[in-house]
Each structure stands twice: as structure tokens, then as C-alpha cells.
Structure 1
Amino acid sequence: MSVFTGWRAALRIARRDALRAKGRSALVVAMIALPVLGVTAADITYRSADQSPAEQLTARIGSADAMYGDSGMGPIQQMPDGDMYYTESGETPEEDVPPVDMRAVFPKGARAISEQSVSATVTTSYGIASTEITELKASDPMVRGKIDLVDGAFPRGTGDMVATEAFLKSAGLHVGSGVTVTTSGRKYTITGAVELPADLKAKQLYADPGAVIAPWQALADHDKKVPVPRPDTAHWLVDAAGQDGIGWKDVLAANKAGALVTSRQVSENPPPHSEIPLLKTNPQYANSRTYESGETSAALITVVSMALLEVVLLAGPAFAVGARRSRRQLGLLGTCGGDRSQVRAVVLGGGLVLGGVGAVAGVAVGLLLTVVFRPMIENWAGHRFGGLVLRPAELLVIAVLGLVTGLLAAFAPAIVAGRQSVLESLTGRRGVRRSSRVLPVTGACVLALGVLVAVYGGTSGSSALVAGGSVVAELGVLACIPVIVGVLGRLGRRLPLSPRMALRDAARNRGRTAPAVAAVMAAVAGSVAIATYMSSSQAESDYDYTPSLTEGTIYLSASDAEAAGRLPAARSIVEHNLAVTGGRADISRPWAGSDCNVYYAEEDGCGTLELVKPTGKGHTCPLDTKGAKELAARLSADEHRAMMRTPACVDVHTSTGTFGYESHNIVIGDAALLDTYVKLHDPAAAAALKAGTPVLLNEAYAENDKVTLKAVHTYSPKDKEGRKLHPGPARKTTDRLKVYVAKPQYATTPGIRMILPQQTAERLGLHTEPRGSLYAVAHQPTDAEDQRVAAAIEQAGGGFWVQANQGPNEGRDSTILLILTLFAGVVTVGAAAITTGLAKADAEADLTTLSAVGAPPRVRRTLSGFQCLVVALTGVLLGTAAGLVPAVALRLVDLREAMEYMRTEPMESAYTPIVLPWASIGLLAVAVPLLAGVLAAAFTRSRVALARRAG
């Protein structure tokens, strides 16, 4: 019999066996299809979400041939893509350049439409919101791809607008709602909802050219109380009108006139470097480099490494069970003259058949799920896909990988089946084999080697060594899993019946349990690695973040002296509309001059106030001196961090502009400011303020509990009385004040160095004016609350701002962490459930015996639940430990880079923390295993069907 004939018979036997045992075959197919599905969906999503240059260009210029804009610099030279340009002379123009006559620059016969934006406030269903209004003929075909209509219709006249869906949602509006531009008083109707495919979260309004800016300007010219519109520089979308497009010669001609051009034809077919004038004077621009974030690199390293292991591990136990279930059939094959190679071929044929079905099913379902969940994925990504990008070669490789997975998973069971004697196969005896002691010892050594390699890669800055060491370490853990599973059987001696049987069953059938645990471990390890790296990076970002206000506070500020007179009404509005918890602190600003407007004072018109910082140890930051680099080279990251947090150095991380630059972060306040804003609950400090003693928050400015306050008194030309009393140059005064010095931790208080009592400011001859109020709030204002407050303040006369501290979490999206946790959870539940199903199929005789000896029906349910729980919990705990290896090593790489940068820039932080994502770990380690156990128990039949007697 030829080899081909033998394999054809083996495949036919394998196909019939798969059809005969449909349940077990379905489990095997699911094992193989699960990783193939995930890799397929990830590949299609990654390729589709990665916008091509053509898609990025369409997002900028729509369907137009080019976009023109006035550079405002006169003649320029530009790169073909328009992202980089400079003046033709190479020098920045010193005077204002007259605007470009765009109509004269466009190619002959071209058609153009203008695009111009202006910031404005508009009414909403809640109140008033600040937004950007763009004048653009959105219905023009040239705009397709830049703006797409989702609902309703485009504007039909100057009284209509369209809005993005994000704006409508935040404003509580819908198609057909009316809005009023408060700055001009004009009313408009929202006729449609649009979206920007490149930015789904944009909150904007669109109107036809001439609908907003022109009437607003006309009203401002007529009524001086109306603010003047300040539109951005106009851009023009241009259609070449029958020509082949706008070529490089057209671009160069426009550059001579001072216009910047982004051309579709030039972007798709860029000219050679020899024809680009900018590269002749700046050849370095030719070598453009792209950078990936650390999180992206970590994701690629860990996901690729862990996914390959997972694909190889998932299907092994299913074939081991299948081979045992078919051992009588394999024994009959031996009695008919079949040799061991033919027995192995039958088992491998099962792997080939089921692997092929699983691979095809995985690719198909992965594609289907990507299509179904595409809108959700696009919303997470923040932009639309140009289309689903399917690369047949990559999908074929993924399918072949699934097929190879089936063969690899069936390889070990095939070897075992080929070694079994015909007598053992026909009688159903499994035999007794001692577990190898070499494998766990080797695994422990490999684990230690992998950890050492990963750590060395982290300390040496090599991501490749980190990836390699992490994979080696995980392979070492895999080799130790059979011993770990064996130990589990000894832990259940004093447990009730069901968990004791589940642990012993897992230990007795290590060939089935160990690969399933390994599969769960691989999925969890990758997710924990990325989640740990991202959590650590976010903690680093939080540390580097400079807050504008203390946590849990908002700031109501007056824009000028006139508005300051209406502060009581504004305070009432804030207290009525926001989640104020009762704490309020009123502050005033001090200045040393006269006739000083809050925002529009002439240079030095407010005078200056300065806290003079003493010199010497404890006052001067060592990292800001001449020998700072030498000092930084000797410091560890923790020592550098501790030094940067001292009061002498902490000014680097303290906001200086929240309450005004001119006062050197000195504010007028009372004890309420300590409680509400500074969070300094100290009766001694409150008593000091009441007695007229300033409270100093940064002790580096104090010397023997005293500070030096330097004031420069200047007088505006409008202040004739002040000029008459103090003619000549500005008057300078220096005062030594006794202060109450707060503890060092209060030096980081944003915007405040010293709190000055009102009576002390008057004694020093300083001018003061109410600036606003600080409130403690239960939560940051929502969009609706912000809009209500803005409307009420505008109705009361305006002139106030409500500032909230968004915190380091602004703009942070935890979707990636959620997806990773869900992915690991699905794989964990799936692998544990499939393993439980295989255990039931493999132990059907034992379950029948249990029923025969009088075990209650619920034992089957609880046994299945605990079997599933054992696999899931063991895999999750091992995966968490394995995932920490690459995460810690990658953070060591980041630490090395941060230390090198810190030694060149001593004032830059080298803080590189390692933070565990406890929420994700808790969900995986507790919730997911319990869910898997409960589901397994719920879907298990409590009563067993009567078995037919053999023979």
C-alpha cells in the first residue's frame, strides 16, 4: 500500500470518527478556532484601523484635488506633503505680510470653496456651550470624506447649521433643534447630524460661508458692545476642473505667492528630492523618522510572543482524550495488520481534519465578528475605517497556523497511541506511568534562565532580550505545570467530595489538565503584561502631571474689576448649579501699582511682588546649580525623586499662573482657604492668619521663620493722582515679615506660595481686589452643569470663568485595559469550559459509577463546576506571575532611558514606577474563575442516562 493510499485511509477513518463523536469533535474545533479567531480579528482590525496616507489625506482635504492656505510668511518652500515648510529666504519675516490673493493663485479654471472657523458660544438644551463653528459648504462634493452626513440634511441657507453627533450628545440637542450664537444673537436651525471620519469625538458646528462670521462682524461694527469675531486663517478646497490634478509645478507657483498647498496628486506621486527646493537648503528633512510609543512596543512584544504559545497549547488535551476514547478502534486496526505508523497516522489524521475545520471556522468567524462589531471598534479607535482591509496572504498564514496547531496538538497523543499494545487498547487498560522528574527540574532551570535574560535585557535596554527572556521563562513555567497540577491533588484531602474529586481528577489526568492550564496561563500572561506596563506608564504620567488646582476644587474667577463687583451673584449661580459640598474660600489678588486691570494691564502696570528666595542649603535646589549634572550622575532614581520633592526644588512641579503671575503666587485669603483649597487643617495656621501673620506654604522661602517681600510700585499714566504723589521712576520697597511655615508637603499646592491676610496687605501699602472664589465639589462639573452655569452667568452680565482641574485622567481611555481583561477572561472561561467538557467525556464511566453507588444528582453539577474552577484559577494565577516578567523588564528598559535623560537634564524626573493593575488582576483571579465554575455547574445535567451494557 502506497503512502498516499495509507494517508487517504487514515483521513477517512479520522473523518468518520469525528462525525461519530460530534460533541468531542466540536470541542476540538473550538479549541483550535478560538486562537485563530482572535488572531484573525486582531489582524483585520489592526490593518483597517491603521489609516493609509491616502485615507489621512482624504480626512484633511475631502474629495478635493488640493487644499490651499495662506502661510502668512510670504514666499515659502515646502515638502510635498505640506507638513513642513519655511520661508524662501530662510528667515522669519519681521513685519506683517499682506494676505495672499488666493483667486490669483489657483490654477486656471479651478473651482474652490473656502473653509474658515471661529470660536463662539451657543445655546444648548442645558445652557450655553463654547464650541467651534466652521463656515464650509458641507454639501459640496469636494467635502465628501472630510465631513459625512449621518442624519437629516445639509444647510439649505444662511439660517441653517449641521452639528457633529458628539456635540449634539453633549448639548442635549437633536436634528431640528434651534441654537443661538450668543455672541452675535443670530438664531440657526440644526438640519442635520454629521461626523468627521477622522475624529468621531469632535464637537463642532458647520454653516455655509457667510452665515455666521459676516453678520457677526457687521453687528460688531454697528454695536461696540458686541465682541469682534476672530476667525482662523481661511483654507480653500480646490477642484482642478477637468485637469489631471494639481501638480508639483502648480505647488511651486503657489509657494512663490506665499500659499501652502496640500495636493492629492503630489502626495500620491511625490517629486524626486532633486526637484524639492526645501531639501537643497535643508537636506536633513529628507530623513523622516517615525516613533512608536512605549505602550505600542510593549503590546507588540508581549502579544506576539504570548499568542504564539497560546495557539500551540490550546488543542492538546482534546486529542489526548480523543485518542483514549478511540483506543478500541485503534486496537482493532492493529489486529487487522496495521503497524504503529498507521495507528499514528489515524490520530494525526484527526488533527489534520479537525485542525483544518477549526482553522477555516476561526478565520470565518473572526471576519464575521469584526464586521459585526466594526462600529463599536471604530468608536473606540476614534475614527472610521476606510474599509475592512483583508490581506489574503496573512489570513492564509493564520489558517495554516491553525492547521499546524491541530497537527502539533495531535502529535503527542499519536506517539502515545502508537506505543500502546493491542491488548491494552482492546481491554481499555491505561497502564501506569511514572511522571518524569527531568522535565520539572529542566523547567525550573529554564524559568530561572528566562527571568535572568529578561532582567538583563531590561537593565541593558534591549527589548529583544526582554521578549526572548519572557518567552523562555514562560516555557519554563509550562514545563513545571504537570508537577504543579500533581501537587493540587494532595491539597484536597480534607475538602468535601466534589472539590476533592476535582483536584484528584486534575492530578490524575495531567495530560488533559496541564495543556488547558497552559492555554489559560498564556492568555492571562499577555494581558497582565500589557496591563501592568500601561498602568505603570499611567502612574508615571500622573506623577509628571502639573495640576492647576488641588483635587476636588473649582475656581470661579472674575475677568476684570467690573465683573468683580458682581461676584455675589456669580457665587450664587455656582452654588446653585454645581455639586458644591459647602466649603468656599474667597480670595483677592494683591498688586503694588495702580489702575491695574486683571488681564489687560500694560507691561509692569500692576507692579511686581516677589518672595525673595534665600540662598544656601535648604533654599537652593541642588539640581539647579552649576554642578547639577555631576550630582545627577551620582543619584539613583529614588534619590533624585526624593530631592525633586523637597520644597527647594518643588517649584518646578507647581503651577504658577493659576492666580496670576504678577503676585509671585501670593494670594489674599483667610482660614477658609486653608480648609477648602490647601487642605491644611491646622488651628495654629488659622489663628496666625486671623492675627495678621501670613502662612507660607513653601518653607524654602523662609529664613528664621521670616520671608523677604520685595515690591515694585508702578503707576499707570491714567492714574494722575498716583503719578502726582509719586513722580519719577518706580518705587521699590522691601519688607521682612514673620510667617507661619507650613509642613514641607504643602509646598506642592498649585498656584499658591503664601497666603497674605487682608489687614497685612493694607499695612504694607498694597492694593487688593476680589479675584474670585474657590469651592470644594463632590465631582468635577459635567457638560450639562458647565452649560447651565455658563448660561446663568451670561444672563447675569458675564465676565466670569469657572475653572475645573481635569486631572491627569483627562483624555485617558482605559478601553485597551478593558479589552485585554475581557479577552483574557473569554479565553479563560472558554479553555476551562472546554477542558471540563473533555473531563466529562473522559470520566463518564466514573460518573456512572458514582450514580450507581448512590451519589446524589447534584454531585455531577458541583464536580463539573469545581473541575472548571481548578483549571481557570490555576491558569490565572500562573499567568499573572508569568506576565509580570516582561512587564517589569520593559519598565527597566524605560528606567534606563529615563536615567540617561535625567543625567543630561537634571531637573527632569526619572521616576519609573511599577504599578500592578489590581482591578484587572482581581477580575481575572476572582470573578472569571468563579464565573467559569458557575457556568459549568449550571450547564451540566444532574442526572445521568442509563448506560447500555457492553456485549
Structure 2
Amino acid sequence: MSFLPGWRAAFRIARRDALRSRGRSALVVAMIALPVLGVTAADVTYRSSTPTAAEELTATLGSADAVFSSAGIGPVQVEQLPDLRTYDVPPGATQPDSATAKPVDVPGAFPKGSRYVTEQSVPATVTTRHGIANIEIVELRTSDPAVRGKLDLVDGTYPEGRDEVVATERFLEATGLGIGSRTTLRGPEQTYTITGSVEVHSNLARSALYAEPGAVVAPWKAAAARDDKVVPPDPGDTKWLVQGAAGAGVTWQDVLAANRKGVLVLSRQVALDPPPDSEVPLAARAGSGFPDDSMELSAAVVTVVAMAVLEVVLLAGPAFAVGARRSRRQLGLLGTCGGDRSQVRAVVLAGGAVLGGFGAVAGVVGGLGLTVLCRPMIEGWTESRFGTLEIRVQELLAIALIGFVTGILAALAPAIVAGRQSVLESLTGRRGTRRSSRILPAVGCVALAGGIAVAVVGGTGGDTTLVVGGSIVAELGVLACIPVIVGFLGRFGSRLPLSPRMALRDAARNRGRTAPAVAAVMAAVAGTVAIATYTTSVTAEHAYDHVPMLTPGTAALVSSESGTADQLPLARAAVEQNLAVSGGRADFGRVWVGSDCAVHHEEEDGCGTLELVKPTGKGHNCPLQGPGARKLAEGLSADAHKKLMGSPACVDEYTQAYSFNSGPAKIVVGDTAVLTSYAKIDDPGAARALANGTPVLLNPAYAKDGRVTLKAVHTYSEQDKENRKLHPGKARTTTERLAVYVAPARYAATPGIRMIMPQGTADRLGLHTQDHGSFYTVAHPPTEAEQQALRAAFAQVGNAAYLQSERGPSSRDEDVVMLILALFAGVVTLGAAAITTGLAKADAEADLTTLSAVGAPPGVRRSLSGFQCLVVALTGVLLGTVAGVVPAVSLRLIDLRDAMESMRAEPMDSAYTPIVLPWETIGLLALVVPVLAGLLAAAFAGKRLTLTRRAG
């Protein structure tokens, strides 16, 4: 019976104390509310951005009941799963050839009384404000109610005639067009007016036009039938959005009936309420149902939640400890009035419950508000709309409960300390003598060493569980050592000025307040550094594995198969007018023998081939190919393998397959401009060789004694009359030993080119040549608007050429991730340092009063606050950087193990697995954030101090 009145009084005292010390209470509530806010926002965002089964069906079906489509194998019975994840032909059924199969009467499979809307897409080229763009046009009656939910009108009106279309917002943004603009479909030259903009909720990045059924494909086919120059359209399969009669929907029996006619059906009713496996022929034949795709919470999510709780405890705990010390006289009076130690502990715990409850509620409400506020930004990142703002009350209650319990846990240690304190110490304000534990640092060192060892073993063995477990143990070991590290800080301030010396000594003297804050900063920074290190390392690996199509900073204008040499000047003028060309132009030609392979692809007697014959022997054969390659690869380190792969003998075996296509032999006809502007060879000897008619060989592995073997196989087509006049007779093979200038080995990896041949040499050898294109040095890769302008210009010359550009490895996503991580760690660091500074100020108010009374200048108070904040932030960042490297390195060891296994299976595969520290992120956290924290703390610390009489 006495339990409730005792706790009732404890809660009343705790509430009054929280209202009396509003600043300290606000700090505690903020630190509990912030993680709760983040977890709430993440939960609501994840639930809202992850489409449910019903929302996915709406994105596919709109408001229709089902979508019908042909299986593409003719009127043959098929079997499907209720959600149409897969389908198959039943055993014993004959599957006809799809090319000769009769068309399926899909509308004949609709339930009686149904209505439908057809959907069919076709790739097309349309005019834009900048030029022309390659997009997709969809024939779909967008104004039909059955389409609602699949896409919706944002602005303007739906198309009403066959000369009107609506466009996605992404199309309008990329093309510079707007509502009321006109665009022309290239080929049939049909012009349409854009009457409105629509939004595809499941894919905001889609660039497409939507026209009425029959407004695009049919007129296009008619134009192609009238004019041979018009290329007929290549539409995709037609789909039918079907609404059942009188709201009956499309049942499973309707689906089975359609399957018997060779029609596939995705029904909303069936997908949301599927029949038992016994009624699904495909599932029954398989003998069991198909596995559920639902995912359980991973160990990583649990670890993140645990670390968030740990950070709250670490940061809020000192606040409760300071609060208990500030209220120690009140707690002592409670003891003089007959209160026992359990009641003193109850008062402190009640404070944790009160502030934890306030923080939990504020965090949940703030998380919901933050999600609503940032919803447009999140939808832009994910490129899809939220179906609804999904709020799961049970999950939010669980998150709030975690915040509430965390507040109690943070007050647990201060409550135990307050309960053990004697009444005399409480009334006099004496803190007694405190000694640091000598066992805890020793345990921490052992845990640190053991955790690192376990993480490394897990990395080398490929066990992610050991990596995660070892990293957590190592981080806990660092946490255990932090009080000792903080204690050592006081020894470094003996020769420093007053403010930094006092800040270091205050941190060392009040380890119970400083160490948890440093630990919280360390935990946040460790996670950021770990992810940033891993991401930076993977980015470096991708950059190494990236095979460039062209040399950096260049673009190539290449003649198309239908183009002719006399059209290239116009294409070159278009490039020079629309592209950011920053250097000169280097023209090049292609070379061939016999029948032209670029014209006659499928002639029975083939076409002429020109080949650079690679000599055999050491220095010519790649050691990573052939017998002994696997054994050699197993004994190579990643750096040695990288060096060998970059050697002339091996580099041509994998880079040329992804490079600019200059022909099978990788020989171009050109002059010194190609040598200097594209191959980047600044060699007077090579320039003189080209001028004198000597080819320049870029890959030394093809040369022997300064010569290359050029093999030509002459074949002739009956249609190739010009070649037959020059070289009459049957196919023949000729071999030429050609003297060349051998460029240094570092140029062997020049994309797409093995040898540059002067025009005179090609003429002397009787080879066919033709102007094939130009290389340009560009200031930046072509933008979307520049590409549209170039397509329009190329279309004016009959699409006689196309442009290739080198964009390099993309790291935009990784850069954004690291920026977000750095900002997150920076905010936590600033918050932890600010809270610690505020607690230090509250805890040392009497000392500051004494300092002012003995004549210290007013600026000392401000500089002292700044240095206190700087000490906490800098110490936590440095320790967090060290702790964060452990899991990152261990995970990279797993990647190295996988790469080595792949290399043993295929010796040519790269085993390069670098470990690269994110110095920019580390520099931002180690230099900018602590200094900023110190400056902010100094700026918000008041100079004036009201002198009061010290109690006791």
C-alpha cells in the first residue's frame, strides 16, 4: 500500500525539479528526443516509401481490376502464379515457335460485361527546344478513370484529339518544352501539341509522352507503307487494363479461363487474396508454395538501434548526474526527514522517467513533423511518391517506449550514487574522494585487442558476423579506456594559457561528465568513418576497374554504317557548334581489305579482315592466359596482379573489348594530331615517324625487332564491284612485315587503338581507307541539352555519324552518401560537445563565481566554455576515427578474399582491393567540427556573471 504514495511523491518532486532547472531539463529531453525523432522519421519514411502490395498493383493497374496480356507463344494453355511472378507451359503441351504462332485473341478472354483500356508503348525520336530526344511514347487514354493511380494529371488538360499528347514532368524539364508547346515525331513527321503534364507515381524520373490510342503507331505504320524512307515503328506488346462487370472484379476462375487461351492476367483481387496452393496448378505441380519475400530485421539494424540507445544513455547520464549533484541538498533534506536510500533513488529515477517521457513524446511528434516537412525531398531522392503517409501506431509506441526506458537507464547510475551518498555529504555539498578504477582500463585494452583480432579473423575468413561482433567489442574496449584517456588530458595543460589549462583539468577532474560525452561522439564518428572508409575504398576499386571508352577529356565523332565520307564535314561542324570543344580536332580513318565488313555483314563469302599478328614468346604472351595462369595468379599479390594486368602483353586482352571501336585490328589512319590530342603522346620521334610514313605502334607486345606482322585476308562479294576491280580473283591471304615506331609501354592501354598508320603507308600496301571520324578535346562531357542539339544536327545529315564520350567512373552517389554521413556525425559531435559544455557550466557555477571574484577578466568565462567544448569534440573525433577503421578494414578483407577467389577461377579478373581512408571526411570531422563547436560554445557563453554567496 505504501508503494504508490512513495512513488507519487517522487514523481511530484521530479516534476518540480525539472521545471526549476529548465535548461538542464531541456538538454536531457533534447538528447532523448533526437534519437527518437530520427528513428521515428526513418520508420515512417521507410513504411511510406516502401510500396505495399496494394500500392504496387495500383502503380501497374491504375484503378482497373486487372491487366491482361498475351504470353507471346500463341493460343496455347499456360499456367501462372496468382501474382504473375512466373508462368509456364503445362507438361505435355506443345509450345509453338513464337515467330510463326497465331496471334492470341486477348479481348476474347475478358469476363463478360468487362470494359477495357489498351496500353502500348513505342520508342521514338521527337523534337525538343534543344534539338531532338530519344524517348518513349505510350498510347493510353490517360483521361479514362481506369488509369487513375497509375498516372495522374498535374497541370493542364488531358488530350482530346489524335494530335494532342501529355508529357511527364521529367520530359518537360529535360527538353525545355512546356504546356502548349508542339513536338514532332521524327520519321512520319507527325506533330503533337502538349496539353498537360502527368506524373507517374512509381517512377518520377520517367521521360515519356502519352497519346490517345491509335494516334501514333497506326499513322506511323501508314507512313512507312507509303514511303520507303520512313522506318516502321517497333511497338511493344499491347496490354489491356480491364474493369470487371458491375464491380465483380476479375476472379481466379477468370484467370484460369484466360490462361487456357494463352492469356496472362494480373488481377488485383487475386493478388491481394490469393487462392490456396492446391487451386494453383503451377504451385500444386511444384509440390509446395513459393517462399515469402518478406525480410526480417537484420543484425545491422539491431546494432544501429543498440548504438543509438547507448549514445542516449552516454549523453543523458551525465545530465542526470549533474542534476543529482545540483539537488544533493534537497536529497539530503529528504534523508533528514526520514527518507531512506530507496526513496532517494526513487526521486532520481522518477526524474529519468519524467524527462524520458517528455523526450519520447517530443521525439515521436517531431519525427512525424520532420517526415511531413521533408516528404517532397525524400520523394525526389527515391524518384517515387509515397502511397500514403503510413503510420504504424504499434511501432511508434515501441519507439517511444525505448526513449522512455532509455531515460530511466540514463538515470540509473546517478540514482545509485545518490542513494549511497551520506546525508552529511549531501547537506555540506562535499563530493568525497573518488578514485578511478584500475581494472576497467585493463579490461578495455584486452577487449580492444581481442575485438580487433576477432574482426580481422572474420575478415580473412569471410565471416561477417565475426566482423560485426569484433568491431563492437573493440569499440566497447575503447569506451572502457576513455576515463583513463580523459584523465591524461589534464597533464598536458601545465604550460598552456589559463583557459585551455582549466578546460583540460576540468575534463580530467570531472570524468563522469566528460567521458560519456566523449564516448557518444566517438560512437557517432566511428560509424561514420567506418562507412565512409568502406565507401571510399569501393569507389577507388571501381575507378581502378573502370575501362574507359576513350581517353579522358575527349569525345569521338564516328561515321555510322549508313553514313558516307562526304557527310562527315557537316557532322563535324555540328559538333564544333554545339559541343564545348576546348582543343583541336584530330581526323582519323578506318582501314580494311577485300570486301567491306562495315557494309556486307552476312555475305556467304564473308568480308576482308586485317589483323595485327601478336608474336609468341616472353613479353608477347600474357602470363595470365594459358597453362600455369591459375598457379601464377594464386601467388600474386593484388599490386603485382595489377601491375601485370597493365603490362602491354595483357592490357589488350580486356581493355580493348570495352573501348572505342576502330575496327577488328584496332588500326586507325591518322597523322600527328591523333598522336598528340587523343593518344596523348608527346614524343618528337613518334611525330617524325608518322611524317615520314612510318606507323606508330602503341602496344609494344605486337612488335618484334621493330616490326609488326600485318595479316590481310582478301575476300570479295559479288556486290562489291569496286573491290573486285582492284583485287580480282578468289579470296587470298597476304602477310606483311612492317617497320614501325614503337611507343613507350605506358601507351599500350590507349582505348581503341593499337597502331596509327599514315595514309601513305595504307596506300603503299594496297589497303582500303575511308574518312571515319574525328577526335575532339572537350571541356566537359556533353550535357543532355547538348546531346539533344547534336542529335538534331546529325539528323539533318541523315544520321551519318554519332558521338561517343568518356564520362569516367561515376561517384556521385558515393559522394552524397559521405556528405550525409559527415553531416550526421558533425551534428552529433556538435550536440554532444554543446551538452557537455552546458553541463560543465552548470556543474562548475560555483567555481566560475569564485574565478570572477578573484579578478578574472569576463572573457575568461567565454574562452573557457569554448575550450571545454573543443576538448570533448576533438577527443571524441580522434578516438572515433581509430575505432571506425577497424570494421572498415575487416570488411575490405572479406572483399579481398572474394576477389582472390574470383582471380583464381579466372586469372584475368582483378584482385585489386584497396583500403582508402576518407581524408576529406576525417579532416572535416577532426578540424572543422571541433573548432566550430568551440566557437559556437564561446559565442553563446555569457560574459557577465552575477556574483552570489557560495553556500557552505
Instruction: Indicate the TM-score class for this superposition, using the shorter chain for normalisation.
Output: over 0.9
Of residues 795-804 and 476-485 in structure 1, the stretch that sits farther from structure 2 once superposed is: 795-804
Does the 8 A contact of 1:120 with 1:131 survive in 2?
yes
1:745 aligns with 2:741: no
Match of 1:226 among 227, 230, 238: 230
Q: Which residue in 1 is equivalent to 2:539?
A: 538
Partner AA of 2:137 in structure 1: I
User: How far is 1:628 from its partner?
Assistant: 3.9
Distance 1:618 1:104, change over 3 A: farther
Structure-2 residue corresponding to 1:623: 624
- 1:945 alignment partner in structure 2: 946
* Contact 2:662 2:752 survives alignment (8 Å): no
Report SS of the residue matched to 1:676: helix
Q: Give the structure-1-normalised TM-score.
A: 0.93
Amino acid in structure 2 at the alignment position of 1:166: R
Please name the residue that 1:149 is paired with.
153
Change (3 A) 1:153 1:948: farther
**2:436 corresponds to which residue?**
435
Q: Residues 342 and 94 (structure 1 numbering): CA distance in 2 closer, same or farther, change over 3 Å?
A: closer
Q: Choose which of 199, 213, 216 in structure 1 pairs with 2:217.
A: 213
Q: Which runs of 5+ in 1 are unaligned?
A: none
Q: Deviations over 1:71-109 (max 9, x none)?
A: 333334444433434556587837443432322233333
Q: CA deviation at 1:767?
A: 0.9
More deviation, 30-39/497-506: 497-506
Asked if the contact 1:591/1:609 (under 8 Å) is kept, the reply is: yes
The alpha-carbon deviation at position 863 of structure 1 amounts to 2.1
- Structure 1 residues 396 and 290, CA, compared in 2 at 3 Å: closer, same or farther? closer
In 2, Cα distance between equivalents of 1:721 and 1:271? 69
- Give the drift of 1:882: 1.2
Shift of 1:322: 0.6
Query: Which residue in the other structure is 1:608 paired with?
Result: 609
Residue 928 of structure 1, CA deviation: 2.1
Aligned partners of 1:590 and 1:663 also within 8 Å: no
Tell me the alpha carbon deviations over residues 702-752 of structure 1, each in whole angstroms, 9 at most, x when there is no partner: 333322222222233223353366555422222222223333333322222
- Amino acid aligned to 2:42: A
Structure-to-structure mapping, 1:482-561, within 5 angstroms: 482-560=483-561
Relative distance call for 1:872 and 1:331 in structure 2 (3 A) is same
Cα 1:946–1:725 shift into 2, 3 Å: closer
CA distances 1:419-442 after superposition (whole Å, capped 9, x unpaired)? 222222222222332222221121
Residue from 75, 83, 86 that aligns with 1:84 = 86
CA distance in 2, matches of 1:90, 1:493: 92
112 and 753 in structure 1: CA distance in 2 versus 1, 3 angstrom threshold: farther
Of residues 193, 197, 200 in structure 2, which corresponds to 1:193?
A: 197
Partner of 1:704: 705
Equivalent residue letter for 1:160: E
Q: TM-score, normalised by structure 2?
A: 0.93
Alignment of 1:114-129 (within 5 A): 114-129=118-133
Range moving further from structure 2, 833-842 or 679-688: 679-688
Question: Which position in structure 2 is the counterpart of 1:242?
Answer: 246
Find the counterpart in structure 1 of residue 39 from structure 2: 39
Which position in structure 2 is the counterpart of 1:868?
A: 869
Contact kept in structure 2, 1:547 and 1:655, CA below 8 Å: no
1:113 aligns with 2:117: yes
Q: Aligned residue for 2:425?
A: 424
Compared CA separation, residues 71 and 36, structure 1 to 2 (3 A): same
Map 1:381-420 to 2 at 5 A.
Answer: 381-420=382-421
- For 1:751-803, what per-residue CA distance to the aligned partner results, in whole angstroms no more than 9, with x for missing partners? 22222222222222111111111111111111222223333333455432122
Contact 1:298 1:533 in 2 (8 A): no
Rounded Cα–Cα distance in structure 1 between residues aligned with 2:204 and 2:489? 51
Instruction: Quote the residue 1:265 is aligned against.
Output: 269
Which among 130, 133, 138 is matched to residue 137 of structure 2?
A: 133
> Would the aligned equivalents of 1:695 and 1:754 in 2 still touch at CA under 8 Å?
yes
Q: Where does 1:906-921 land on structure 2 (aligned, <5 Å)?
A: 906-921=907-922
Query: Are 1:305 and 1:471, in contact at CA under 8 Å, matched by a contact in 2?
Result: no
Tell me how far apart the structure 1 counterparts of residues 487 and 234 of structure 2 sit (CA, whole Å).
75
Q: Which residue matches 1:165?
A: 169
Q: Which moved more, 1:841-850 or 1:355-364?
A: 841-850
Match of 2:16 in 1: 16
Range that drifts further, 205-214 or 88-97: 88-97
Residue 363 (structure 2) aligns with: 362
Secondary structure of residue in 2 paired with 1:548:
coil
**Mapped partners of 2:6, 2:850: distance in 1:** 40
Aligned to 1:335: 336
Corresponding residue of 2:807: 806
* Counterpart Cα distance in 2 of 1:14 and 1:183: 79
Alpha-carbon distance, 1:940 to partner: 2.3
Deviates more, 1:105-114 or 1:754-763: 105-114
> Cα RMSD between the aligned structures?
2.9
**Structure 1 residue 643: deviation in Å?**
3.4
The code of the aligned residue for 1:10 comes to A
Q: Which AA in structure 2 matches 1:891?
A: R
Identity value in percent: 65
Q: Secondary structure at the match of 2:747?
A: helix
Give the structure 2 partner of residue 315 of structure 1: 316
Deviation at 1:468, TM superposition (A): 1.2
What is the CA–CA distance in structure 2 between the aligned matches of 1:239 and 1:45, rounded to whole Å? Answer: 32
Deviations 1:106-160 (A, max 9, x none): 3333222222222222222222222222111122222222212222222222222
Moved more, 375-384 or 65-74: 65-74
Distance 2:79 2:715 in 1: 47
CA distance in 1, matches of 2:605, 2:873: 69
2:28 matched to which residue of 1? Answer: 28
SS class of match (1:649): helix
Q: State the partner residue of 2:756.
A: 755
Range moving further from structure 2, 113-122 or 368-377: 113-122
CA contact (8 A) 2:522 2:880 kept: yes
Contact 1:306–1:471 (8 Å) recurs in 2: no
- Does 1:882 pair with 2:883? yes
1:49 partner letter: S
Q: Matched residues in 2 for 1:291 and 1:34: separation?
A: 27
Tell me if 1:64 matches 2:61: no
Q: Compute the displacement of 1:657 (Å).
A: 6.4
Residues 141 and 624 of structure 1, relative CA distance in 2, 3 Å threshold: farther
Aligned to 1:644: 645
Q: Please, which moves more after superposition, 80-89 or 580-589?
A: 80-89
Which SS does the other structure have where 1:210 is aligned? coil
Distance 1:288 1:481, change over 3 A: same
Aligned to 2:936: 935
Counterpart residue number, 1:179: 183
Q: Distance in 1 between matches of 2:895 and 2:830?
A: 34
Task: Name the SS for the 1:821 alignment partner.
Answer: helix
The alpha carbon displacement at 1:325 in A equals 0.8
Between the aligned partners of 1:361 and 1:290, the Cα distance in structure 2 is 32
Matches within 5 A, 1:443-462: 443-462=444-463
Could you tell me how far 1:253 is from its partner in structure 2?
A: 4.0
Residue correspondences, number: 948
Task: Confirm or deny: 8 A CA contact 1:380 1:815 kept in the other structure.
Answer: no
Question: Match of 2:405, SS?
Answer: helix
One-letter amino acid of the structure 1 residue matched with residue 523 of structure 2:
A
| One-letter identity of the residue aligned with 2:320 | F
Most deviating of 722-731 and 142-151: 722-731
Give structure 2 stretches of 5+ with no counterpart: none
Does the aligned pair in 1 maintain the 2:563–2:801 contact within 8 Å?
no
Following TM superposition, by how much is the alpha carbon of 1:354 offset from its aligned partner in structure 2, in angstroms?
0.9
**1:525-548 deviation line (CA, Å, top 9, x unaligned):** 122222222222233333333322
Pairs within 5 Å for 1:778-927 = 778-795=779-796, 797-809=798-810, 812=813, 814-927=815-928
1:291 & 1:909 partners in 2: Cα distance? 33
- SS in structure 1 at match of 2:111: coil
What secondary structure sits across from 2:335 in the alignment? helix
Q: Is the CA contact (8 Å cut-off) linking 1:564 and 1:771 kept in structure 2?
A: yes
The structure-2 alpha-carbon separation of the partners of 1:584 and 1:640, relative to structure 1 and needing over 3 Å to count, comes to same
TM-superposition CA deviations, 1:235-289 (whole Å, max 9, x none): 2222223364334444344444443333323333444555555567877994688
Structure 1 residues 411 and 148: alpha-carbon distance in aligned structure 2, compared to 1, 3 A threshold: same
